[in-house]
């Protein structure tokens, strides 16, 4: 569904201090048994303890704030948000790679719904984008490729055709999880031709504006694909 480093050539990971700090602070929160509403140590204090400058620590705090873990209040301090679970979930997602089944599950849930909505709401333009993706995929497969680019385009077109910014956002979220856990191969079918055929079936249902058939076809497609993935 997405690629950063092409051809397996992994760009050297550029370590960012603030990222390490986020991890350390998360670990600290857990080890210190801090509960929602509790305060983190003062910036000057924390910076010294962690051996970094305040400016750098400030970056880490911004990151934690964006992640929803803390809420920094001027004059008071950094207070833990009410859902410390988020912190552990994020940590868990980073650490364990065993989430594949869960991610497949979540993705399946969303994509089935997206297919159904796409059938109801697709414009002719959406349909054109879907057909375009199919053509690209067919061409790629014909050239001996796996057709992964077309596959990606296809799913993006479906997502767009559902016309739901919120669901699209959730899909983007899952895409990030997939990237983070380095399971980029997810969603790349074992047999390109077979996958192309099920794509065509989905597209046909969407063209016919048959929501139920679209959902069914998408479910079948995902089950096929993830079965292959999970068994290798």
Sequence-separated (6 or more) residues with CB below 8 Å from residue 93: 99, 177, 180, 181
CB of 54 or CB of 139, closer to DNA = 54
How far apart are the C-alpha atoms of 167 and 216, rounded to whole Å?
19
Express the helix, strand and coil content of the chain in percent, nearest 5 each.
70, 5, 30
209 binds DNA (CB under 7 A): no
219 binds a second copy (CB under 8 A): no
43 binds DNA (CB under 7 A): yes
- When CB distances are held under 5 to 8 angstroms depending on the partner's kind, the choice from a second copy, DNA, none that residue 188 binds is none
CB of 14 or CB of 232, closer to a second copy = 14
Q: Is the dihedral of CA 121, 125, 127, 129 positive or negative?
A: negative
Site for a second copy in 134-173 (CB under 8 A): 164-170, 172-173
- When CB distances are held under 5 to 8 angstroms depending on the partner's kind, the choice from DNA, a second copy, none that residue 71 binds is a second copy
**CB distance 152 to 160 below 8 Å:** no
CB of 196 or CB of 214, closer to a second copy = 214
Site for DNA in 68-127 (CB under 7 A): 72-78
Q: How many residues bind a second copy (CB under 8 A)?
A: 48
Count of helix runs (H) and strand runs (E) in the chain: 10, 2
- When CB distances are held under 5 to 8 angstroms depending on the partner's kind, the choice from a second copy, DNA, none that residue 52 binds is DNA
CB of 115 or CB of 196, closer to a second copy = 115
**CB distance 57 to 19 below 8 Å:** no
Q: Which of 24, 28, 34, 56 binds DNA (CB under 7 A)?
A: 56
Stretch that binds DNA, among 49-57, 110-118, 198-206, 217-225 (CB under 7 A): 49-57
CB of 8 or CB of 15, closer to DNA = 15
74 binds a second copy (CB under 8 A): yes
- Report the b/e string of 46-85 with b at 16+ CB within 10 A: bbeebebeeebbebbbebbeeeebbeeeeeebbbbbeebe
32 binds DNA (CB under 7 A): no
113 binds a second copy (CB under 8 A): yes
34 binds a second copy (CB under 8 A): no
- When CB distances are held under 5 to 8 angstroms depending on the partner's kind, the choice from a second copy, DNA, none that residue 209 binds is none
- Report the b/e string of 2-39 with b at 16+ CB within 10 A: eeeeeeeeeeeeeeeebeebbeebbeebeeeebeeeee
């Amino acid at each position: 569904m997405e690629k950063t480093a092409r051809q397996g050539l992994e760009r050297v990971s550029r370590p960012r201090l603030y990222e390490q700090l986020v991890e350390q602070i998360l670990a600290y929160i857990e080890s210190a048994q801090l509960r929602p509403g509790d305060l983190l140590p003062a910036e000057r204090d924390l910076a010294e303890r962690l051996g970094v400058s305040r400016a750098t620590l400030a970056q880490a705090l911004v990151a934690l704030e964006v992640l929803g873990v803390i809420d920094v209040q001027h004059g008071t301090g950094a207070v833990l948000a009410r859902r410390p679970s988020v912190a552990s979930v994020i940590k868990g997602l980073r650490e364990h790679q065993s989430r594949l089944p869960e991610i497949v599950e979540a993705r399946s849930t969303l994509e089935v719904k997206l297919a159904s909505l796409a059938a109801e709401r697709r414009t002719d333009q959406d349909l054109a984008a879907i057909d375009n993706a199919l053509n690209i995929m067919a061409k790629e497969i014909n050239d001996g490729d796996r057709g992964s680019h077309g596959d990606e385009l296809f799913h993006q077109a479906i997502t767009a055709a559902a016309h739901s910014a919120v669901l699209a956002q959730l899909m983007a979220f899952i895409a990030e999880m997939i990237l983070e856990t380095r399971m980029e191969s997810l969603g790349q079918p074992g047999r390109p031709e077979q996958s192309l055929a099920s794509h065509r079936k989905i597209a046909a249902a969407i063209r016919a504006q048959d929501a139920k058939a679209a959902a069914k076809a998408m479910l079948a497609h995902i089950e096929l694909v993830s079965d292959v993935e999970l068994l290798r």
